[in-house]
Homo-oligomer: A and B are copies of this chain.
Amino acid sequence: MNMPTPNNTLNIETVLKKIERTRQARRHKFYLRDEKITLSHGSGGKATHNLIEGVFAPAFSNPLLDTMDDAAIFGPTESGPRLAFTTDTYVVSPLFFPGGDIGKLAIHGTINDLAMAGAKPLYLSAGFILEEGLPIADLRRIVASMAQAANEAGVAIVTGDTKVVQRGKADGLFINTAGIGLIDTSRSIGQTQLQPGDRVLLSGPIGDHGIAIMLAREALDIETDVKSDTAPLHSLVSALLAAAGQDVHCLKDPTRGGVATALNEMALSSEVSIALDERAIPVRPEVRGACEILGLDPLTIANEGKLLAIVGQEQAAAALNALRSHPLGREATLIGTVQAEPQGMVFLRTEIGGMRVLDMLVGDPLPRIC
């Protein structure tokens, strides 16, 4: 098997070959049969991958895009620093929900995509689509929330754009944020970097964001006070990288599609297997309860303030300590290990002692979660 060398130095030929093989494997796995866009294509799960691999990836193919990480990494000049560049559009409904709003989410989400590339977030853009009739008071509240989130995280919104569409042609407002971050090491972090023996760390309990949105949206008779976990994760990442040095192989925030989808993407990209221990995965009782009532699997529910870290075995304990020492990682746990075979698969050792394949999210139980 053509693994990255243990010290993570980048052999460009190896990486390109790996990317090509992964793309071939994905094309085989992801096949777009649909003739029209369905809500599932926005799930972040299997249908989204079908769409990406069936339409976007072949048309736009280039070495930076083909890694399919959440951010593209490049050096604009030979001698200058490396930068990370990412984009995300937010269509969450409702616009305001327990724990946050679409504006805060748009800032945190793009900060997190940069942080997961090991980058220090610097600058954001903001593109708005406003529906005719949107109360300007709502817009002011969302913009104030964005400004506060950006200030607190130490990033600046430096460029923007506003469009308006007729009533009934959008849903209140949609926001796109793109972001630029600075990478100040030669470390290669990404979903092609997993190695057998690596440990899988999770920074805290899962499912809060998705369930909070679900409960805010539906008039359900479930009394809980679940709040979105939306949070900027860049300082948690800094702490982790400081503690575990060159041994952090991949970082990913399990948003749409949840932990199950994020880990499947890694297993496919790195051609490894991931084995999880279900009992080790923290889920708040109220989230678990809501999932049971609604027939949902917490492993496929979106999070907006959690991260998965794949860390070499030697540094795993130090990495876990670093996460737990940070306010956003106090409940961090070791949830699994990376294995060589069978490639591209994620397994779950269940609470009752069985073993099941954990696939990506199929369908979309919670459309417009972010």
Residues 115-132 of A, flagged 1 when their CB comes within 8 A of B and 0 if not, give: 000000011011111111
A56 partner residues in chain B, CB cutoff 8 A:
126, 143, 160, 162
Chain B binder among A2-10, A174-182, A201-209: A174-182
Q: Given A132-B38, A169-B171 in contact, is the A127-B87 Cβ separation under 8 Å?
A: yes
Stoichiometry, copies per complex? 2
Partner of A62, one of B135, B136, B156: B156
Asked if A52 and B144 make an inter-chain contact with CB atoms under 8 angstroms apart, the answer reads no
Asked if A129 and B85 make an inter-chain contact with CB atoms under 8 angstroms apart, the answer reads no
Asked if A88 and B165 make an inter-chain contact with CB atoms under 8 angstroms apart, the answer reads no
CB of A139 to closest CB in B, whole Å? 6
- Judge whether A81 is part of the interface by a CB distance below 8 angstroms: yes
A55 partner residues in chain B, CB cutoff 8 A:
136, 139-140, 143
A133 to B36, CA, bound (A): 5
A146 to B40, CA, bound (A): 24
Residues 152-190 of A, flagged 1 when their CB comes within 8 A of B and 0 if not, give: 000011111111111011110010101010100000000
A55 to B170, CA, bound (A): 20
Smallest CB-CB separation from A87: which chain B residue? Answer: B125
- Judge whether A100 is part of the interface by a CB distance below 8 angstroms: no
- Judge whether A329 is part of the interface by a CB distance below 8 angstroms: no
- Judge whether A137 is part of the interface by a CB distance below 8 angstroms: yes
- Judge whether A327 is part of the interface by a CB distance below 8 angstroms: no
Chain B binder among A64-72, A332-340, A348-356: A64-72
A74 to B156, CA, bound (A): 12
- Judge whether A296 is part of the interface by a CB distance below 8 angstroms: no
Asked if B35 and A176 make an inter-chain contact with CB atoms under 8 angstroms apart, the answer reads no
Smallest CB-CB separation from A164: which chain B residue? Answer: B42
A77 to B77, CA, bound (A): 12
A163 to B83, CA, bound (A): 25
Asked if B89 and A159 make an inter-chain contact with CB atoms under 8 angstroms apart, the answer reads no
Partner of A123, one of B70, B72, B129, B147: B72
Partner of A81, one of B51, B77, B169: B77
Smallest CB-CB separation from A35: which chain B residue? Answer: B136
A219 to B80, CA, bound (A): 54
A129 partner residues in chain B, CB cutoff 8 A:
89, 91, 129, 174
Q: A36-B133, A85-B158 are in contact. List 13 more A-B contacts (CB 8 A).
A: A39-B166, A42-B163, A55-B140, A56-B160, A60-B146, A60-B157, A62-B156, A65-B159, A90-B163, A91-B129, A161-B176, A165-B171, A170-B171
User: 7 smallest A-B Cβ distances: which pairs?
Assistant: A42-B164, A178-B178, A87-B125, A72-B158, A80-B80, A176-B176, A89-B127
List, sorted by A's number, 6 A–B pairs whose CB atoms are closer than 8 Å.
A39-B166, A64-B123, A76-B182, A89-B127, A163-B368, A170-B171
